[in-house]
Structure 1
Amino acid sequence: MPYNGGPMTEAMYYVLLALMNPNHGYQLMNAITKVSNGRLNMGPGTLYGVLSRMQKDGLITLAEDDGRRKTYKITTDGEQALRIEYSRLVALIRDGKILEEGDEGE
């Protein structure tokens, strides 16, 4: 079943962000830690599960496979899905501004 555009998992979001520059598995784990400012450390088991799923969904593709390591890159559909998710997250933050207003309404 292809990706339906629903909310992404945190893992999916950060994999796509990290793949704005093509990467192979080990580099990708480091890139995810970097783009998440250290909040997300993804192990190989989680990473390869997410990569497999996202490849099936057409969000990423193999850029290169030299037999030793596979280099992944984001697809046009993947970048579009990432931008849609980013907009959704920005809207969530914007909607949450009510929390910053405190108890003014009481």
Structure 2
Amino acid sequence: MAREKFQTLTEQMFYSLLCLRQERCGADVMAQVDQMTRGRVVIGPGTLYNLLDSFLTAGMIEETVVEGRRRSYRITAAGERALAEEAERLETLLGDYRRFRVEGETR
């Protein structure tokens, strides 16, 4: 069964949206993701700009400032909902893992 686009977010998607809770340009998003994840998640320029374009099309972010080639973005209400839904999904997975781990240890 095919999943609807953005039903689950990749790490790059999740952290990009999380960063855009504050207005940022693409280069700032890449730097912030690197800092937030201590280098664990890397987003290259090609990946980031494809994500930004997809998020714009889906209404999850909005363009806020255009200065030549430099563009800044901010998350929208739709993006906040997607971010919150993904966090809830991940918390559910973690809860399932913890329950299973505890059950597995008692056997």
- TM-score norm. by structure 2 comes to 0.87
Pairwise CA distance, 1:102: 4.0
Which structure 2 residues correspond to residues 23-38 of structure 1 after superposition, within 5 A? Answer: 23-38=24-39
CA 1:57–1:37 in 2, change beyond 3 Å: closer, same or farther? same
Pairwise CA distance, 1:78: 0.4
Distance 1:37 1:4 in 2: 28
Which structure 2 residues correspond to residues 1-106 of structure 1 after superposition, within 5 A? Answer: 6-97=7-98, 98-105=100-107
Pairwise CA distance, 1:89: 0.5
State the number of aligned residues.
Answer: 103
**Identity of paired residues, percent?**
36
Distance 2:26 2:58 in 1: 18
CA 1:54–1:37 in 2, change beyond 3 Å: closer, same or farther? same
Q: CA RMSD in A?
A: 1.6
Where do 5+ consecutive residues of structure 2 fail to align? none
Distance 1:37 1:17 in 2: 15
- TM-score norm. by structure 1 comes to 0.87
Where do 5+ consecutive residues of structure 1 fail to align? none
